[in-house]
Amino acid sequence: MGQSVGFARKVENDPWHRMLPGLGTVTVRTLSLADWDAYRTFAERIECNDMRLRFAGPVKLDASRCRRFLDIDHDREEAFAAFDGEGAMLGVARLARTSETEGEIALIVRSDLKRRGVGTLLLDRLIRHADAAGVGVLTGDVLYENLAMLSLARRSGFSFIGNAGLLVAIRMVLDPGMAPPLAPPAAGRWPWAARA
């Protein structure tokens, strides 16, 4: 594995409070081990297919994996969660620094709360954090059949830059000086992209 790369700048991660229709006030803040119970309950409310779409294969969030996802090295990675007014976790967004200029994103929303604005709120928070932390390019890999995530990525400003098997590579340039633009894919190359 390559050399560990941290965020260029330390960023204040004050909680965000936003109103979402039907959900009331939603708070987005960083995750920590103190969120253990909320995270385990959150994991139980995610359907198997949604876990497969997020992790590109069958995954169970057992105690070991939950600990890994909550024990965050805030120098190289960050994770934000959305909570309702009762303290229930609604979704999680992650950013992991992969090089001096790039970070990889991941996102999952509770199965019963999809298409309610939680993913948009989390992705917006992640993008703003990355930009403030000096990340120039955001990337991600999304299963081609995860149309909800592909649509959210496109609406948020990500480009589809390639595919490898069942995964679609997405990319957003936050600082053009950190990454040369990529050539767009040939027209009609990904017919499913129009449905996203």
pLDDT, tens digit, 9 for 90 and up, residues 80-137: 999 999 999 999 999 999 988 899 999 989 988 888 899 999 999 999 999 988 899 9
CATH topology classification for 16-195: Aminopeptidase (3.40.630)
pTM here is 0.80
Domain locations in the chain as residue ranges: 16-195
Task: Give pLDDT, residue 192.
Answer: 45
d(CA 137, CA 97) in angstroms, rounded, equals 10
